[in-house]
Amino acid sequence: MTDPLVWVGVLLLGGAGAVTRLTVDKAVSRRLSTAFPYGTLVVNISGALLLGFFAGLALPPHLALLAGTAFVGSYTTFSTWMLETHRLAEERQIWSALGNIGVSMVLGLGAALLGQTVGGLW
């Protein structure tokens, strides 16, 4: 794949990942209207599962870049996770903030491992 095609792919798939993230986050947040950032949690866990799956598939470098970096990279969000955790702590919801960190780490690692295992079977 030529470099210009890769850049166009990153542009398009990055945009698609960002729109998908917004859609999933809003859908989850509407259903679970609480102070806890469930939308971001669902996005990041599903993103870890998807990235693990792509890693398990052992895609060629250009496809891995497009699938992993472009789509999943713009779909998941570390910065929002940290900002929402900080907001919970500022609001003195310390257990929710710590829970957000712990649950995200445990479920994220588990989802990545599961995705990689499933991807390796294909």
Q: How far apart are CA 10 and CA 25, in angstroms?
A: 22
Sequence-separated (6 or more) residues with CB below 8 Å from residue 93? 35
Q: Is 76 annotated as a binding residue?
A: yes
> Residues 39, 80, 18, 116: is their CA dihedral positive or negative?
negative
Q: Is 119 annotated as a binding residue?
A: no
CA angle, 26 then 100 then 79, to 5°: 65
The binding site for Na(+) consists of 73, 76
Where is the binding site, in residues? 73, 76
